[in-house]
Amino acid sequence: MKTAVIVTTYNRPDALHTVLEGYREQTVSDFELFIADDGSRDETRALVADYSKRSAFPVHHVWQEDRGFRAGAARNRALAQTGADYVVFSDGDCVPPVFFVEQHRELAEDGHFLSGNRILLSKEYTASLLQTRAAVHRLSMPQWLIAWLRRDVNRALPLLRLPNASFRKRQMLQWEGVKTCNFSAWRTDLVHVNGFDEQYSGWGLEDSDLVIRLLHAGVRHKSARFAAPVFHLWHQENDRTQLAENQHRLEAILASERVAAAVGLDQYSSA
Q: In the chain, what are the domains? A: 3-267 (3.90.550.10)
| Predicted local confidence at residue 227, as pLDDT | 97
Portion of the chain with pLDDT greater than 90, in percent: 92
| Predicted local confidence at residue 188, as pLDDT | 98
| Predicted local confidence at residue 202, as pLDDT | 80
Residue 80, pLDDT above cutoff 70 = yes
Segment 185-207, tens digit of pLDDT:
999 999 999 999 999 878 779 99
Portion of the chain with pLDDT greater than 70, in percent: 98
| Predicted local confidence at residue 228, as pLDDT | 97
| Predicted local confidence at residue 238, as pLDDT | 65
| Predicted local confidence at residue 259, as pLDDT | 98
Residue 243 binned pLDDT confidence (cut-offs 50, 70, 90): confident
d(CA 17, CA 29): 18
Segment 52-72, tens digit of pLDDT:
999 999 999 999 999 989 999
* Average pLDDT for 233-244: 80
Segment 249-268, tens digit of pLDDT:
999 999 999 999 999 999 99
Residue 271, pLDDT above cutoff 60 = no
Residue 12, pLDDT above cutoff 60 = yes
Residue 231 binned pLDDT confidence (cut-offs 50, 70, 90): very high
Least confident of 121-130, 152-161, 230-239, 260-269: 230-239
Q: What is the chain's mean pLDDT, rounded?
A: 95
Residue 94, pLDDT above cutoff 80 = yes
